[in-house]
Amino acid sequence: MATSVKISPSILACDFSKIGKEVEALEKAGADYIHVDVMDGHFVPNLTIGPDVIKKIRPFSKKIFDVHLMISPVDKYIEQFANAGADIITFHPEATPDSGETIKLIKKFNKKVGLSLKPKSEIEIIKKHLDKIDLILIMSVEPGFGGQKFMPEVLPKLKELKKIIDKEKYKIDLEIDGGINFQNSKTVKDAGANILVSGSTIFKENNGDLKKNINLLREK
Ligand code: DX5
Ligand code: ZN
């Protein structure tokens, strides 16, 4: 099993009427990161929150804000997300004309860079950037909505990336996002994931006992 697995709860599944309190509760419950899903109704068929909301919830936790941008184009919004308090900014290579330039832009604001692969996106499209990034987010559902079913067909991609990272000694975290639950958490860790994103499982299982659910995902 991967050592020191981190849990990054997605606030997409929280009660948006008290979003600040929810972020605070996640920190208290032992979350390592706070995963923020940003959707634009264009790159993905759903709308969520933008930089102004992130800025408002930022004071509720000192944890790393793990911001997953599902927006296109991304470059013109990077500065706003950086200023709003994102610590890691992850984008999809399909959402920008030049991933290399977007990586540079994120680094200009001293933020960590993540690249995300949709279930059908191949490793090839991020390969030349592996020496410049901090994280790879592997989508195990089609991006856009919480509560979808985990797609086991992404596991070979996760394993392959783990192999490449170990071989080349890259310092890249492998994050998995979508449909993570108590049944598949061990499988994804064994396949190489060291950060698990979860919305529905953390907020809905065991009557919404955040601490219990975070611990179960970490330990199982
Ligand atoms: C989907 C998002 C995910 C998702 C996770 O586009 O990136 O973060 O909401 O939620 P669950 O755990 O409910 O699949
Ligand atoms: Zn996400």
Give every strand in the sheet of 135-139, ordered side by side: 6-9, 195-198, 173-177, 135-139, 112-117, 88-91, 64-70, 33-39
What is the pTM for the complete model shown?
0.98
Range 161-183 average pLDDT: 98
Supply the pLDDT for residue 220.
86
Phi, psi of 97, rounded to the nearest 5 degrees: -70, -25
Per DSSP, 192 falls in state: T
Supply the pLDDT for residue 4.
87
Instruction: Judge if the beta carbon of residue 144 lies within 6 A of ligand 1.
Output: yes
Record the tokens describing residue 72, joined without a space. 């296109």
pLDDT tens-digit map of 91-121? 999 999 999 999 999 999 999 999 999 999 9
pLDDT tens-digit map of 57-88? 999 999 999 999 999 999 999 999 999 999 99
Catalytic residue, candidates 32, 37, 40, 173: 37
Annotation marks residue 37 as catalytic: yes
Range 147-165 average pLDDT: 98
* Contact predicate 179/148, CB 8 Å: yes
Residue 145: which residues within 8 A CB-CB, separation 6 or more?
46
**Could you identify the atom of ligand 1 that is nearest to the CA of residue 141?**
1
Average pLDDT score, the chain: 97
Instruction: Judge if the beta carbon of residue 146 lies within 6 A of ligand 1.
Output: yes
pLDDT bin (cut points 50, 70, 90) of residue 3 is low
Kindly give the distance from the C-alpha atom of residue 196 to the centroid of ligand 1, in angstroms, as a whole number: 11
* Contact predicate 33/195, CB 8 Å: yes
